[in-house]
Chains A and B, each alone.
Chain A
Amino acid sequence: MKELKLMKGNEAFAEAVIRAGVDGYFGYPITPQSEVLEYLMAQKPYERTGMVVLQAESEVAAINMVYGGAACGKKVVTSSSSPGISLKQEGISYIAGAELPALILNVVRGGPGLGTIQPSQSDYFQSTKGGGHGDYKLIVLAPASVQEMADFAGLGFELAFKYRNPVLILSDGVIGQMMEKVELNPQISRRTDEEVATECPWATTGRPKNGPRRIITSLELDSAKQELHNIKLQAKYKQMQDNEVRFETFDTEDADYLLVAYGSSARICQKAVQTARKKGIKVGLLRPITLFPYPSEAISKLASQVKGILSVEMSAGQMVEDVRLAVNGKVKVEHFGRYGGIVPTPDEVVKALETKIIGG
């Protein structure tokens, strides 16, 4: 029988990180993601696999440790919650500019400012539209279960190294704090220095005997070269859009109406779909799994089928902009959300569908 554990989303992520053969975790505590650091410290992976676990002096220090580790070709990860992720934005922009693989987890809480410690999804713009300065993109994965908190640790590193790009897991207080059944992957060994040297020919692993010195930097004072670098980055982001879009649908085949929601909102919407269908409303759900690249094409196709679309997010209305761009005026698109740490109930979603889309 396969080993099943009952774990919090934060704990499942932490255990999956160890098992993914990660070399280092650098973080700083903040609710509602502190269990990541707590779990790692309790598990002592430095005794199991040699993985470093370090509580940095601040979020800024932690992300720059990630930058340094990634530059050496190491598998490195950090996690935080909204205000802490804001502090990391400068480092994230540098890592994206320097084209380094890294994994970042945001267990979102309500903002703005220090806000509240309760769940929210109001960091969508920050995650998908920049966050830091400059024209860069992160691959953004949105888990909707404890199992995905574990699975996306492995997937995140796979994508980060495939594209030499930071990957952000955009979770929230619901998924981080809830416990569900989770099946974990077996332990992968950490890469040896030789494997790093072979797999990451760009990494700063010591001055090569032959060939030029390897320099990792995000600074280029020659604007012509910096423009070329930007063109290369944009081509890479286009490749991600072509190859890495992930989403799932529920009950869309015969749907007259569509809900679009990610993460914990998608779970709430699944229940809302069940409730609405019992009332005779034919509604389906599209759940984006990648928020960048966004499943615009799938939404555009469904827009030709349905009479109206409700975007549901624990925010004042951020993802709805991407839904509207995808739909491009074909049908009515509205937003429903609760925010500031309030989680909507399935019944509230059904009511919003009835008033804003069907009756509206």
Chain B
Amino acid sequence: MTEEIIIAGFGGQGVLSMGKILAYSGIMQDQEVAWMPSYGPEMRGGTANVTVILSDERISSPILNQFDTAIILNQQSMDKFEKTVKPGGILLYDPNGITRHPSRTDINIYRIQATEAATAMGSAKTFNMIVLGAFLKLKPIVKMENVEKGLAKSLPARHHKSIPMNMKAIAKGLEIVEKV
């Protein structure tokens, strides 16, 4: 199994930490992982994106031109990454703020109303975990117990009290993701 994922959105949406939690979850089940962020000026106000690869084998390139799954969280990222999904792959997006929706017919497109759900849950911080939940519904590549372990590894100890809330947000994402 090799899963090549791009997660892209605004800086501050938790794109990088979502990727990190996914990568740590992979380590917890003995997989090879790579996490390659965009870095530098494009993080300020513009898009932030991260490539995450989980594999049972040694990972070759952390730089990719095509992905099994694209998780897209703003319009700029939609414009940039819709075309990079492999035919038959998955595009998962939050429609909040999206004006030009994805139009490809050779890929599977899913929607997650994560901005709305995070507001309903009363914490904007749960946004990225709702999205992660949606992804795990579509691609259950890591076990939920390993996601919880991954969260514990990824978050500093002072934030461990927020793990139950994060797990609740992941469960919410699993529940509300919908096919377009």
- Option from A6, A117, A181, A267 in Cβ contact (under 8 Å) with B63: A267
**A345 interfacial by beta-carbon distance below 8 Å:** yes
Contact between chains at B61 and A180 (CB < 8 Å): no
Q: Fill in one digit per residue for A329-360: 1 if any B CB lies within 8 Å of its CB, else 0.
A: 00000000000000111111000000000000
The CA of A26 and the CA of B154, in the complex, are separated in Å by 29
What 0/1 pattern do residues 104 to 120 of A give for CB contact below 8 A with B?
00000000000001100
Q: Which of chain B's residues has its CB closest to A176's CB? A: B39
B:38-53 near A, CB below 8 Å:
39-41
B35 CB contacts on chain A under 8 angstroms: 6, 178-180
> Taking A178-B34, A179-B34, A180-B34 as contacts, is the C-beta distance between A6 and B62 under 8 angstroms?
no
Interface of B is mostly: mixed
Select one of A6, A117, A178 contacting B24, CB under 8 A.
A6
CB pair A174–B64 under 8 Å, yes or no, is: no
CA distance A286 to B41 in the complex (A): 34
| Interface residue? B32 (CB, 8 A) | yes
Interface size class of B (residues with CB under 8 A): 20 to 34
Cβ of A180: which chain B residues have Cβ within 8 Å of it?
32-35, 59
Contact in complex: A264, B63 (CB < 8 Å) = yes
By the criterion CB–CB under 8 Å, are B64 and A179 in contact? no
Q: CB within 8 A of A181: which of B33, B36, B66, B154?
A: B33
Q: Are B61 and A271 in contact (CB under 8 A)?
A: yes
Fill in one digit per residue for A225-243: 1 if any B CB lies within 8 Å of its CB, else 0: 0000000000000000000
Do the beta carbons of A6 and B36 come within 8 Å of each other?
no
Contact A177 B36 (CB under 8 A): yes
Out of A174, A270, A345, name the residue touching B36 (CB < 8 Å). Answer: A174
How many whole Å from B72's CB to the nearest CB in chain A? 19
Q: Within the complex, what minimum Cβ distance (angstroms) separates A85 from chain B?
A: 19
Bound CA span A180–B37, Å: 12
Knowing A6-B153, A179-B34, the reply to whether A267 touches B39 (Cβ < 8 A) is no
Confirm or deny: A55 has a beta carbon within 8 angstroms of a beta carbon on chain B. no
Chain B residue contacts of A343, Cβ below 8 A:
63
B27 on interface, CB distance cutoff 8 Å: yes
Q: Which residue of B lies closest to A175 (CB)?
A: B62
Bound-state CA distance A181–B60 (Å) is: 14
In the complex, B20 has a CB within 8 A of chain A: yes
A205, B63: Cα distance in complex, Å: 48
For the complex formed, measure the closest distance between the CB of B79 and the CB atoms of chain A, giving whole angstroms. Answer: 18
Determine whether the beta carbon of A270 is less than 8 Å from that of B61.
yes
Q: Which residue of A lies closest to B33 (CB)?
A: A181
Q: How far is the CA of A207 from the CA of B98 in the complex (A)?
A: 74
Closest to B61 in A: A271
A268 touches B61 (CB 8 A): yes
Docked pose: A345 CA to B39 CA in angstroms: 17
B105 part of interface (Cβ distance < 8 Å): no
> Is A346 a contact of B36 with CB atoms below 8 Å?
no
A181→B40 CA distance, assembly (Å): 23
Across the interface, A32 reaches (CB within 8 A) one of B33, B39, B153, namely: B39
Complex: how many Å from CA A31 to CA B42?
14
CB atoms of A31 and B40 under 8 A apart: yes
B173 CB → nearest A CB, Å: 22
Q: Taking CB as reference atom, which chain B residue is nearest A272?
A: B61
Contact B62 A174 (CB under 8 A): yes
B27–A181 contact, CB under 8 A? yes
In contact, A346 and B65 (Cβ under 8 angstroms): yes
A177 CB contact (under 8 Å) in B27, B39, B60, B153 = B39
> Are B40 and A118 neighbours in the complex by a CB distance under 8 Å?
yes
Report yes or no: A177 in contact with B37, Cβ–Cβ below 8 A: yes
Q: Which residues of A contact B33 (CB under 8 A)?
A: 6, 179-181
Nearest neighbor of A250 in chain B, beta-carbon distance: B60
Partner of A4, one of B20, B27, B41, B64: B27
Between-chain CB contacts (< 8 Å), 6 pairs: A6-B35, A174-B62, A178-B34, A272-B61, A345-B64, A348-B65
List residues of B whose CB falls within 8 A of some A CB: 20, 23-24, 27, 32-37, 39-41, 59-66, 153-154
A6-B27, A178-B35, A268-B63 given; 6 more Cβ-contact pairs under 8 Å: A31-B40, A117-B41, A178-B37, A180-B32, A180-B34, A267-B61
Which 6 A-B pairs rank lowest in CB-CB distance, beginning with the nearest?
A271-B61, A270-B60, A345-B65, A179-B35, A271-B60, A178-B36
